[in-house]
Structure 1
């Protein structure tokens, strides 16, 4: 059995960020009441508002996220 190291933890974090980056607001978030327009009027201090900010941050950082995914794939192929 393989020990969980730093690389495994970073891969798990990368999977989580990928999952947040692909969430679609119109089809998935808005029907559940999780759209940014509801929390942008000063409700960003709440846990829901902060989580929505995290989702939008990951969606805006898709280009660096693609680069991190490519690096992770290359490391997996080489090792």
Structure 2
């Protein structure tokens, strides 16, 4: 497993977090941002929720990163 394969795997995970729907998947399981209070932001659950919302906020740059990966994959064979 090379560095490129590891980066592709991380990109797939980031893409999965980017398409999560809060009302459908996160809120029924208690993972909505409104349930994470100010005091629990430093908890593991609060940090994971922060990462998920940061990824969802940065969807447009993620599109360009996906394009770079796709073009690199097409060029390399």
**TM tier relative to shorter chain:** over 0.9
Question: What is the aligned partner in structure 2 of residue 71 from structure 1?
Answer: 68
User: Which stretches in structure 1 are left out of the alignment for 5+ residues?
Assistant: none
TM, length-normalised to structure 2: 0.94
Alignment of 1:11-50 (within 5 A): 11-50=8-47
- State the superposition RMSD in angstroms: 0.8
Residue correspondences, number: 76
Question: What is the aligned partner in structure 2 of residue 55 from structure 1?
Answer: 52
Q: Separation in 2 of the partners of 1:40 and 1:52? A: 11
User: Which stretches in structure 2 are left out of the alignment for 5+ residues?
Assistant: none
Q: Separation in 2 of the partners of 1:18 and 1:9? A: 14
Query: 4+ runs of 1 displaced by more than 2 Å?
Result: none
